Structure 1
């Protein structure tokens, strides 16, 4: 079967970024440990404490599945496979030149964006993105923390981490809160990292604002709880 077309320029990624700049069930596992903190961005790791159910939304049921990404014949060939929420539209992305004009939007350290899943057709305004790296992380939490510090715009005022089973894999999950000078409000970003046979993958999302972020939680949980290595 022919491979899907790959977008050379991440148009939804660019459109969503411009909008942010002023243009407009059941839990799959019990957390093994949790961290939370209200810290400055200069602090690299949070203090230990109890998790906050309002942050993790563990009582939310996953969205209905409408397909999957990961295999070579899927819309996004990836080293991990997971369910796509019903109505969400996935598209494979080519991150392009690491030194190009859009490199800051398609590269984050060793990670390159590989897939963007648009939640818009199902209602929420936002995208779930998959980033892949060929480097094996020594510490999942540290690697995810570094990724998120580079990913968000603005100083992180709150961060939470936890180790968790996601699908068949051990992961570290995080959610951070950062102030957006453009939107003049706090924006939450949530994601998780998993090891792959050849490196690592990060799956993350923000949502246009806090309302849209919460609207995307069931879809995010569907993706997280179904993740596995691509065969």
Structure 2
């Protein structure tokens, strides 16, 4: 795997280490940053591809991208579970982590002469843990390498996002001065709107839509 950005290995180790390991570091420190960036990036990408859809549709699509089930599936497709550290270190049952270690561990068994032997058994990792690790890795690449590094990692796990701003082409024009007092609102907000028709739509409830105002505040627009 080759990704953009200079990300220290110990930060990656932190992102794949859960609190159950009992270490002084764990992945939860990346949660606020990674969660916020993932939601922002997914929202930006959906708006680019579905500019004229309503908020409910975009929210539903975004949920499918950022849900634990989706992130777990993407993480498993990239063999991440085998690298996750989810247990305290016990030398006798330790297995080398890697892309083939995700489903197995060693289990202790006592034979008749009281000697112990170790057999290969299943290693259980919850879906949520895999999803959280994926998010934490996004946070690591973002904090250490910036947006491009985070987007490179997201592309590697098959989440495609393009954050380059694209001008929004409106297919609808209104005469906003017929519906609101633009000068009064701009004075109150101390802001001058380039396209005041967006302001009309932002102030229009879905139950008040007219032929002249076919869109309401539930349609997403760029900030």
Normalized per residue, the structure richer in strand is: 1
TM-score bracket, normalised by the shorter chain, equals under 0.3
Normalized per residue, the structure richer in helix is: 2
TM-score (norm: length of structure 1):
0.21
